[in-house]
Amino acid sequence: MSRKLDEIGLKYDGPRPAVSVVILTLNEELNIRGAIESCSWSDDVNVLDSGSTDRTVEIAREAGAKVFVNPFKSFGAQRNWAIDNIPLKHDWVFHLDADERFTPELVREMSDLLARAPSEAGFYVANQMILDGAWIKRASGYPAYQMRLFHKGRMRFGDHGHGQREETKGAIGTLKQPYVHYNFSKGLDEWRARHDRYSTLEAKEILAARASGAGLSWSGLFSGDAIVRRRALKGVAARMPMRAQARWLHTVLLKGAVLDGRAGMKYAGMLYWYEGEIARKAQKG
């Protein structure tokens, strides 16, 4: 990347799209100021806190964001609560996490897009994952898309695994420009603790799918839609023996994590542990 990572989004002077930003937080005092600063282009920045016990709320208010508090039940429920209860200024909303940052390129793309009054319900956006100061493009499976920019009247969210998936009858588009994700900003111990919780939820999702007799989407593996392929592959992986070893080989050899250097190989090892935890917990039942 041509600019310093710690300056991303801080000096944007282009067109300002009519987009409300919602940032979900829980004890994010290390990250929240940077996230809000990257939203300097928006005139409606909202923090939805889940009950932080550190200085997250204080810092958010100091940085100019409006703060709302709601106890966390799940990511899907929290995102829906934001739609229903925060007085969002604009119809279009972007959900940002505290360890993520906007880039000028992404903001310009949103501005150009919304100037055309799109009819879609929402747009998937990819992220650039940063580990040890490097973009681990191949190891992270870039581009991995999530629903981030959406019309508040056309979108809802449902829980799935440790995260959420979009629920809408409307069309969904894809943006070209990514946001930046500092997924390891609180250290690797925090990442491991967080993914220990995530692995429990993913194991429960696998067990529920088995109990319901849900089949595999074999056609999805050959879909032209990258998101459909990724979700179908996840379903296949859930039934594979030695899934941790398979994920490591897939990340290192097929995705090319080795080309990301030391950071890429480090992340491949972290995924090996994570997949192993999911398999162990699913087997234990």
Do residue 196 and residue 273 come from a single domain?
A: yes
159 and 216 fall within a common domain? no
pLDDT band for 214, please (50, 70, 90 cuts).
low
d(CA 121, CA 107): 18
Number of domains within the chain = 2
Q: Which domain holds residue 143?
A: 5-181
Domain boundary among 154, 181, 208: 181
The tokens describing 210, both together, are: 């088995």
Identify whether residues 19 and 145 lie together within a single domain: yes
Angle at 123 between CA 119 and CA 126, to 5 degrees: 165
- Same-domain check for residues 204 and 153: no
pLDDT, position 231: 58
pLDDT-based confidence at residue 280 (cuts at 50, 70, 90): very high
Q: Answer whether residue 109 shows pLDDT above 70.
A: yes
Tokens matching residue 158 = 């449902």
Q: Do 162 and 271 lie in a common domain?
A: no
Same domain? 166 vs 118? yes
Q: Cα–Cα distance between 191 and 148 in angstroms, integer?
A: 22
- Let me know whether 93 and 176 are in one domain: yes
- Residues 47-72 have pLDDT tens digits of 999 999 999 999 999 999 999 999 99
For the segment 65-80, the average pLDDT, to the nearest whole number, is 97
| The residue to which tokens 């906007």 are assigned | 102
Please choose, from the candidates 97, 101, 98, the residue with its C-alpha nearest in 3D space to the C-alpha of residue 32.
98
Q: Which of 160, 181, 202 is the last residue of a domain?
A: 181
DSSP 74: -
Q: Do 83 and 220 share a domain, yes or no?
A: no
163, 181, 199 — which closes off a domain? 181
Q: Which two tokens stand for residue 31?
A: 């990250």
Look at 21-30, 183-192, 206-215 and tell me which has the smallest mean pLDDT.
Answer: 206-215
Q: Residue 215: is its pLDDT beyond 80?
A: no
Please work out, in degrees rounded to the nearest 5, the angle formed at the alpha carbon of residue 201 by the alpha carbons of 274 and 99: 65
Higher pLDDT, 112 or 161: 112
Q: How confident is the model at residue 24 (pLDDT cuts 50, 70, 90)?
A: very high
Please tell me the predicted confidence (pLDDT) of residue 169.
96
Both 215 and 280 in a single domain? yes
From its phi and psi, is residue 7 left (phi > 0), alpha (psi between -120 and 50) or beta? Answer: alpha
Evaluate whether 56 touches 82 at the Cβ level (below 8 Å).
no
The H-or-E segment that residue 166 falls in is strand 163-167
Q: Residue 46 is encoded by which pair of tokens?
A: 């909202």
The single residue listed with the structure tokens 């839609």 is 225
Pairing outcome for strands 179-181 and 122-131? parallel
Same domain, 204 and 68: no
Quote the Cα angle for 142-165-267, to 5°.
Answer: 35
pTM: 0.83
Residue 6: predicted pLDDT: 44
CATH code (residue 121): 3.90.550.10
pLDDT at 122 over 50: yes
Single-letter residue type at 187: G
Band of the pLDDT at 123, cuts 50, 70, 90?
very high
